[in-house]
Structure 1
Amino acid sequence: MTTTYDSRKRILVTGGAGFLGSHLCDRLLEQGHEVLCLDNLFTGSKRNIEHLLGNTRFEFLRHDVTFPLYVEVDEIYNLACPASPVHYQHDPIQTTKTSVHGAINMLGLAKRLKCKILQASTSEVYGDPAIHPQREEYWGNVNPIGIRSCYDEGKRCAETLFFDYHRQIGLQIKVARIFNTYGPRMHPSDGRVVSNFVTQALTGGPITIFGDGTQTRSFCYVDDLIDGIIKLMNSEDDVTGPVNLGNPVEFSMNELANTVLRLTGVETSIDYKPLPDDDPKQRRPDITLAKNVLGWNPQIQLEEGLHSTVCYFQELLRTG
């Protein structure tokens, strides 16, 4: 895709120094747009965007979305929020504020600018699902007072705000429900299963599995996910979402651990521990809607994506 000067947009990416945000900044710059990357660096890292700092179409702004922001942009991608249990449970009150106050502030900015805004929501809005796979019309099975509630309910409230702004004032919104995503630039200590398994294997293990390893997850490679997010933002005005974005192919934790061990060439043990509270037993998206309205379907197989991820973590551990 080639962007001419007349079609170039100035795009705000909140959480732009994070795992997903930095890849989104890369892609938008590749398309010829100007990018304003906003991040308070709580979980994001300048390392993720340092290769962009010399680009004249890229600007980094250190800012917390819980405070109002006054900038001029043409589109907003709201990705700001800790997304792993280790990080969002560290300060659960701030996590809820980031989801709710952050949504209010970004929606207010979009209202003033009369611009389109995309919310990065999450599969966590489904909680521990009573149906499988999960479709967008499913309302979820969420514990409102559990240790994961700051993230789950914060994201659910953000979705409510987005749709109320859409219904009440006609704001142009897009809501993506993102399922497990992995790839280079994941935080090595974020507590997510892929980064856990890879770093544990590369540092000598053992690999820790919570539960008996039969619980399943679906894993979407970051490049596929970014494709989906951009397709959703650029979709027809009447496509508001929510739209599931994720890979519908399920793998058990045991299968994932064995694949990581094979790709790293490490021989180590697997340590089984009790399952944490409110941890869902299975999670898989139904992506029929994304296929139909976006023409989107993930292309990268788990082994190919894990190979790139392992290489990234090997280099990260080597260089510090």
Structure 2
Amino acid sequence: MRTFNKSNYFSSLDRLVTDEIKTFFDKSILITGANGLIGGSLLDFFLFLNEKYQANISLAVVVRKDLEVHDFFQEQKVARIIQSVEEVIHFDGDLDYIFHTASNAHPQAYDLYPVETIMTTVAGTKNTLELAKEKDAKLIFVSSSEVYGELPEGAKHHVENLYGLIDILSPRSCYSESKRLAETLIVSYIKEFGVEASIVRPAYIYGARFAEANTRADVDFIKKCLAKENIVMKTKGSQRRSYCYVLDCVSAMLAVALKGENGAAYNISSDSGNVQLVDFARKLAEISGVELIFDIQESGAGSPVQNSLLSNEKLKGLGWNEGFDLSEGIRDTFSNILVSSFKEMK
């Protein structure tokens, strides 16, 4: 695991603390996918609350391999269930909240393992729903902006009740279609069993806990910047994306956990992050001091969706607002990682 700048990271995490956050004090929380960008950052925040504010939050995780924890959190107790979410989850003890973040979330996984991508999402969601039913816990499911498909003609942003087209006969649709089915499974459990659950649909989330194996273009750009290598774009980068810093994603998930309606879905995006891919790359290069170079080789690979801008008006209705604009989020990403540790991992 790469080494973080504790002082900078704690300062960033502290920006998420509000009076409402104290609702999570003395609660029991389980997170799936806690080695990932979103799940890991969420876990970090709860561990931070325990360390700085003595929040007494009981934490458990479901991970495929042993949990990766920062050195400065090593002394804290986290119950670890090491298994795939495709297996039935057994947990002794009470739970108040379950955050289901586990999924195959990068393009190479969709391409090489479409069946596993589907089963991780669908079976994993069923198993977390069963656990939520057993424990009478509220489930927060991390879906995806990819459930929308291509933005309908004339629309500027994806809103939660307007869906575009997805080619269901393309194996690349394994991710988006499995997320759609998981959402339907959730509302079905609500209707049939009275489970309490809300859904979040994150934009393109970035941050310092990115997975080394992630093959998404924007993640590759961040790796290049940290290694002080130039960013090479092989497309024009005209795709319109909603980029959101991971700590804003965490605060949004917590807002939905506390105030989200049962069975409702909420987009997670930041207004300042609604840009083209090339603009995101240019901002990364500018802040990190590397060059942006074009070597156009349009291949048609990656997401076929050209516009995935998300409206966050529904989320704002819960009282949420972004805490980090695009420049701040990028700077914080770089500042949180001790660059020497990144170079050692290469």
TM-score (norm 1): 0.89
Q: Aligned AA for 2:310?
A: P
Residues 144, 200 of structure 2: 8 Å contact kept: yes
Tell me how far apart the structure 1 counterparts of residues 127 and 157 of structure 2 sit (CA, whole Å): 33
Q: Aligned AA for 1:54?
A: E
**Alpha-carbon distance change, 268 to 90 in structure 1, aligned in 2, over 3 angstroms:** same
Q: Shift in Å at residue 93 of structure 1? A: 0.9
Give SS of 2:156's match: coil
2:148 maps to 126
Question: Do residues 207 (structure 1) and 227 (structure 2) align?
Answer: no
1:59 maps to 79
Aligned-residue Cα RMSD (Å) equals 2.3
Residues 202, 266 of structure 1: 8 Å contact kept: no
Question: Do residues 117 (structure 1) and 139 (structure 2) align?
Answer: yes
Residues 34, 40 of structure 2: 8 Å contact kept: yes
Tell me how far apart the structure 2 counterparts of residues 48 and 90 of structure 1 sit (CA, whole Å): 29
Give SS of 1:234's match: helix
Q: Shift in Å at residue 190 of structure 1? A: 0.8
* Deviation string, structure 1 residues 204-224 (Cα, Å, up to 9, x no partner): 655343532222212111111
Q: Aligned AA for 1:193?
A: A
- Of 20-29 and 192-201, deviating more is 192-201
Tell me how far apart the structure 2 counterparts of residues 257 and 173 of structure 1 sit (CA, whole Å): 36
- Of 244-253 and 62-71, deviating more is 244-253
* Partner of residue 248 from structure 1, selected from 256, 264, 271: 271
**Alpha-carbon distance change, 49 to 64 in structure 1, aligned in 2, over 3 angstroms:** farther
Residues 118, 174 of structure 1: 8 Å contact kept: yes
Question: Do residues 15 (structure 1) and 15 (structure 2) align?
Answer: no
Q: Shift in Å at residue 144 of structure 1? A: 1.2
2:130 maps to 108
- Of 279-288 and 210-219, deviating more is 210-219
2:220 maps to 196
Q: Aligned AA for 1:309?
A: T
Equivalences for residues 1-320 of structure 1 within 5 A: 1=19, 8-29=26-47, 30=49, 32=55, 33-41=57-65, 46-49=67-70, 51-56=72-77, 58-71=78-91, 72=93, 73-130=95-152, 131-203=155-227, 205-235=229-259, 238-249=261-272, 250-267=274-291, 269-274=293-298, 275-276=300-301, 278-292=303-317, 294-311=318-335, 312=337, 314-320=339-345
Residues 230, 291 of structure 2: 8 Å contact kept: no
Tell me how far apart the structure 2 counterparts of residues 315 and 140 of structure 1 sit (CA, whole Å): 44
2:15 maps to none
**Alpha-carbon distance change, 4 to 187 in structure 1, aligned in 2, over 3 angstroms:** closer
Tell me how far apart the structure 2 counterparts of residues 8 and 109 of structure 1 sit (CA, whole Å): 20
* Deviation string, structure 1 residues 78-101 (Cα, Å, up to 9, x no partner): 111121112343321111101111
Residues 89, 127 of structure 2: 8 Å contact kept: yes
Give SS of 2:295's match: strand
Residues 118, 178 of structure 2: 8 Å contact kept: yes
Show structure 2 runs of 5+ residues with no match. Answer: 1-18
Tell me how far apart the structure 2 counterparts of residues 67 and 227 of structure 1 sit (CA, whole Å): 29
Q: Shift in Å at residue 22 of structure 1? A: 1.1
Aligned residues: 313
Tell me how far apart the structure 1 counterparts of residues 212 and 332 of structure 2 sit (CA, whole Å): 15
TM-score (norm 2): 0.83
Q: Aligned AA for 2:344?
A: T
Show structure 1 runs of 5+ residues with no match. Answer: none
- Of 61-70 and 154-163, deviating more is 61-70
**Alpha-carbon distance change, 316 to 217 in structure 1, aligned in 2, over 3 angstroms:** farther
**Alpha-carbon distance change, 316 to 20 in structure 1, aligned in 2, over 3 angstroms:** farther
Q: Aligned AA for 2:179?
A: K
Give SS of 1:148's match: helix
Tell me how far apart the structure 1 counterparts of residues 326 and 340 of structure 2 sit (CA, whole Å): 20
Give SS of 1:295's match: coil
Give the ranges of 4+ consecutive aligned residues of structure 1 lying more than 6 Å apart after TM superposition.
Answer: none
2:16 maps to none
* Deviation string, structure 1 residues 121-153 (Cα, Å, up to 9, x no partner): 110101222233000001232121223211111
Tell me how far apart the structure 1 counterparts of residues 100 and 295 of structure 2 sit (CA, whole Å): 37
Residues 239, 307 of structure 2: 8 Å contact kept: yes
Residues 196, 262 of structure 2: 8 Å contact kept: no
